A and B are shown apart, each in its own frame.
Chain A
Amino acid sequence: MSTVEKVGGSVATYVDNRTGSNRFLARNLKKVFPDHWSFMLGEIALYSFIVVLLTGVFLTLFYKPSMVEVVYDGSYVPLKGVMMSEAYASTLDISFDVRGGLLIRQMHHWAALLFIAAMSVHMMRVFFTGAFRKPREFNWIIGVTLIALGLAAGFSGYSLPDDLLSGTGLQIARGIIQAIPIVGTWGAFLLFDGEFPGTEFISRLYGVHILLVPGLILALVTVHLMLVWVQKHTQFPGPGRTNNNVVGYPLMPIYMAKAGGFFFVVFGVITLIGGLVTVNPIWIFGPYTPDQVSAGSQPDWYIGWLDGMLRIMPNWETVLFGYTISWNIFLPAVVIPGIVFTAAALYPFLEAWATGDKRDHNLLDRPRNAPVRTGIGVMAITFYFLLFIGGGNDIIAITFDLSINSIIWFLRIAVIVGPPIAFLITKRICLGLQRRDREKLLHGYESGRILRLPHGEFIEVHEPLTPKERAVIESAVEAYHTPLPAAQKTDANGVRNKHYRRENLRAKLSHWFYGDAIVPPTYDEIEAGQAHVAHDAAIEAPLHEHDVDTTVMVPFHGGILHTEGEPATNREQLEERGGNL
């Protein structure tokens, strides 16, 4: 035993005596995680959040959350002698007079943008594969909350430099708060210590940005990961993968190296971008003053859809008993986002109720095998992107020389008509893919090779599916359901069904969800079909005879001892490693 091992061992014992850590390690170092590129999306979110935390700590050392007016005396010549808040002046100092300050500031901003982007795409992956289903509904809700918190973190940070752009964003936020019926005016006065812009808001927002929101995110991320750990990660269908197992690589060493390495990759890419690509050049915008704004004001990308909704909303306002209700602001900025996030959070429960599916799901759905869910997801994305376009309508109008009024009118209509169309198209595409899958399961691939048989018949050779393809496509069999039976108004004895209306709605929803699905073949039919295809291939085989590669494996450092020939299987490799995995 080397010295290092001895020291390591005694440290482990020391810690174990006090925490029982060895029990945890023994159980978990070999914990298996399934592998798929899309599982990295959540990792990107986590790692970019860590980068945000690290760079954020550095920024707090130099940033001054104060709206006290000072005369700028830093090294950025165009603003020398200009009155500005300390917040803005200190942000300029970070950008110009702290070595590496701009790098860290830009890393912080880029990482925040990436954090929210990665969370969003991760959410789509989870949605489209049905990973939110039982037993993972809590984690879905936590995820939706994390995205909302991510928006709050991003917006509060965007507002701190107190440049002209961020101040404009705050002014809009203030206008939105003021539009909330009954409590809005008072709420805005309390938050801003009176009128806009006041002198307190930046320092108040600072506490929210560096403590409250990141603290909540950190806490929820911890719970999110613990649940992933305890429930074990979902996996895509594949050979040997069932609802009751996890097929993948062990935590130590594979995932430690892969995930740990990936952290450095994400960190490195953010650093490269932060060093080489400008983001939020606040020195160009100038200090905030409430009577100025620049054309083409844009929020960060993740606020774009909310801003877009604000832009395309018709100008409805009512005065009722002497009180003003600003529907034009309250609906798009408060009510609809509230509905969107609530509906997203509740979706797993709605789907489970509508389909009557109460089973655990550890094997992911292929999106095509849940056409209605996939359609709903694409519908949501369409809605989002139309609003996102709305958020940049002025830029689009200028870039493409279009009338801004036409763009807004187009969006007002498209945001209502577009999503249902997207739903229908998506659903049809899914059903088409289901049909093709059925074909493949029954008849294999069309190889395009025409074979003339000895008796003169021509056939097209069909290729059988590989085990992997077959296992993946065959998952349609398990994903297929017949809808719930129609509700009955009375039972067999003629007693009125008290729950008829609810059951009827549920049956209809279930029919909507499952009704159009293509019936997949049974396992027996698949078996027969594939055997038939294999028979075809066997007829053709003599034409393609060739020597199978004989692979020789030789022992070497840490490698796998193998002799020769036939395809190695996991089992053989495992056995050769003496069950060492």
Chain B
Amino acid sequence: MSDLTTRDSAETPDHGHGPTTDGDGTDLARPLFTGPGALPAADVPHRPRASDVNPKAARRVERQIAAMFMLAVLMVILFVIAYVGIDPYTMAYVPVLGEVGAQNAALGFTFGLGVFAIGAGAIQWAKKLMPDVEVVQERHTMTSDAEETDAAAEQFERGKEESGFGQYRLIRRTLIAALALFPIPLVVLLRDLWSPKNGGFGPSPSEVLSETAWTEGMPIVTDGTYVKIRPEEIPVGGLVSALPENINEIQEEEHNLNARGKAAILLVRMEPDEIRSQQGEGWDFEGIVAYSKICTHVGCPIALYEHRTHHLLCPCHQSTFDLADAGNVIFGPAARRMPQLPIGVNEEGFLVAKMPFQEPVGPSFWERG
């Protein structure tokens, strides 16, 4: 049985006007339908395509399609030639695109154009040579028949009766208890996603987050070159990205960058009288202040410093801190000031931390308080 139908045009009411037709083949005078869809789809005017009426046009389309498929064949051949023949390290100038890797561009161009041609050919075939006559199918509601629904209910009831699910209350309740507990091992197993090194219970997350590699007297070294810094090497208005001296040792020991992610600081020098406030009395050294580099919002490292205003801007979410005013937030989504590291010089004249950070660095967390 086919549910493919073309509806009978007798359904169309003819109000007695003779058909008058304009050049487009549109019936003007005859009332075509009363209400959406009352015009049978089969009676929708349909203009034949050039390829329907003109064999020459049809043959031209046939040649076009074949040409596109041939282009695909050619492009695959060129792709292989480009893969084998072009040196991967050659650059080429392509207008608009500029300097590009010659092989990559050639591979993309040949493969892309070839694949595109297959698609274009197929679509052209469908649009120009295959029938463009719309057909109608009836829809069927998703709802089941009443008998089917009854039968389903009946089967369900039978199953319930036979299992005795309603009858054995003890079995039912213990089953529910067992099923409720069954996922617990699967969750417990996730505990060791974070495993403390020497087994047992290590420090809690909040303890870990509250400590950095900075200790009393720890020399400050530049990031990248790892040399100790004398105060006179930082000019007023200068900015230095810095780390604790032992950062590379810690990294080699722990095989990760965690310590670096917490200990990174910025050293900034301003005229001592420009410092309006600090987080502790005398935490600067002759106008050099040290602040954490890790944003208190969501932890991006910050290095956009404007030396005239002493503002520090986070490039990720634009939180702005005032380093001349105790690192307080002056704009943006960060809620907490930048933690300050108290600094001084040691007997050799190098900058050192006077004590560790007095509050956790980086983003807030639940247990931080």
Contact = CB atoms under 8 A, between A and B. Distances in A.
A196 B134 contact: no
Interface string A527-542: 1001100100110010
Given A558-B129, A568-B46, A100 B194 contact: no
Nearest to A227: B142
B270 interface: no
Given A189-B194, A194-B258, A570 B46 contact: yes
B122 A264 contact: yes
Interface residues of A, number: 158
Interface stretch (A112-120, A253-261, A504-512): A253-261
B164 interface: no
B119 A324 contact: no
Contacts of B43: 240, 569-571
B355 interface: no
Contacts of A297: 300, 315-316
A291 B240 CA distance: 12
Given A243-B37, A248-B134, 16 more contacts: A174-B363, A181-B366, A185-B206, A188-B205, A197-B261, A244-B139, A248-B135, A249-B132, A261-B126, A265-B119, A293-B302, A360-B141, A363-B36, A394-B318, A569-B44, A570-B135
B258 to A, nearest CB: 4
Interface string A259-287: 01111111111111111110000000000
B126 A329 contact: no
B136 A466 contact: no
Given A196-B258, A241-B41, A554-B53, A295 B298 contact: no
Nearest to B242: A291
Q: Which of B100, B260, B261, B363 has the most CB of A within 10 A?
A: B363
Contacts of B184: none
Interface stretch (B26-34, B145-153, B169-177, B280-288): B26-34
B109 interface: yes
Interface of B: 2, 4, 6-7, 9, 15, 17, 20-21, 23-29, 31-37, 39-48, 51-53, 55, 58, 83, 88-89, 94, 97, 100-101, 103-109, 111-123, 125-127, 129-139, 141-142, 190-191, 193-195, 205-206, 208-209, 223, 241, 243, 255-258, 260-262, 264, 293-294, 297-304, 315-319, 329, 331-336, 362-369
A75 interface: yes
B108 A272 contact: yes
Contacts of B44: 239-240, 467-468, 569-570
Nearest to B29: A534
Given A194-B208, A254-B126, A551-B53, A328 B318 contact: no
Contact of B45 (A67, A244, A296, A567): A567
A573 B366 contact: no
A5 interface: no
A311 interface: yes
19 contacts: A32-B135, A32-B137, A172-B298, A176-B298, A190-B190, A239-B41, A241-B36, A266-B119, A267-B119, A292-B241, A312-B333, A315-B319, A315-B333, A534-B29, A548-B21, A552-B53, A567-B25, A573-B133, A577-B133
Nearest to B13: A527
A438 to B, nearest CB: 15
Given A258-B126, A408-B332, A276 B100 contact: yes
A250 B126 contact: no
A281 B148 CA distance: 59
Q: Which of B6, B55, B126, B331 has the most CB of A within 10 A?
A: B126
A168 B27 contact: no
Contact of A293 (B120, B136, B257, B301): B301
Given A32-B136, A171-B299, A195 B262 contact: yes
Considering the complex of A and B, which 6 residue pairs feature the smallest CB-CB distances, nearest first? A275-B108, A268-B116, A175-B298, A567-B25, A240-B41, A261-B122
A242 interface: yes
Nearest to B316: A297
Contacts of A311: 317-318, 332-333
Interface string A517-534: 000000100010011001
Given A193-B195, A315-B332, A549 B23 contact: yes
Contacts of B241: 291-292
A171 B52 CA distance: 62
Contact of A291 (B31, B137, B264, B331): B264
A69 B118 CA distance: 45
A556 interface: yes
Contact of B130 (A30, A257, A394): A257
B95 to A, nearest CB: 11
A295 B304 contact: yes
Interface in A161-176: 168, 171-172, 174-176
Nearest to A405: B331
A477 interface: yes
A340 interface: no
Given A193-B195, A570-B133, A554 B112 contact: no
Nearest to A562: B48
A123 interface: no
Contacts of A481: none
Contacts of A68: 255
Contacts of B293: 291
Contact of B243 (A291, A470, A537): A291
Contacts of B135: 32, 247-250, 570, 574, 581
B361 to A, nearest CB: 11
A92 to B, nearest CB: 13
